[in-house]
Structure 1
């Protein structure tokens, strides 16, 4: 975690955030933690984000020296949504298509 780290999303996304926290805080190797997420995805128990909800994440060394990471949740969206799946300047693109974690990445600082 960065010294300056703020995250914000819709209250309705709390079940997914709590599930993320439970999987990560159970400990283990990175592979073991990722396996928990993969099992939940495979068996259909992965908590879903609200379609169209936004996750804002601002982090860095200080409020003056930061990066932002903004995504729009679109669970199970595929390329049929019409967005590219590769990053480009000043645009949205689809990541993790077809999964519960599918989301549109928002370019920019």
Structure 2
């Protein structure tokens, strides 16, 4: 039985070598890949070999998982808390 390797990266860019992945897909060593993160953000034709339209079995997507209503509400609440704390003279989430 032949095995098919599929690569899915939705974590961080730079986890794998993009040029090597592109080559492995082109050579048929990897059955398919999908990613929404790139070694260099934003990915462009000049800095990302995965943006070559001739690479087979590759799905690319912009990273938009952070853009949910829950995330936006949480971000706004955190900003509000931080600003109120700063104005009151008791800053929170201070990075030394």
| Structure number, greater radius of gyration | 2
Q: TM-score, normalised by structure 2?
A: 0.24
> Which structure has more strand as a fraction of its residues?
1
Q: TM-score, normalised by structure 1?
A: 0.22
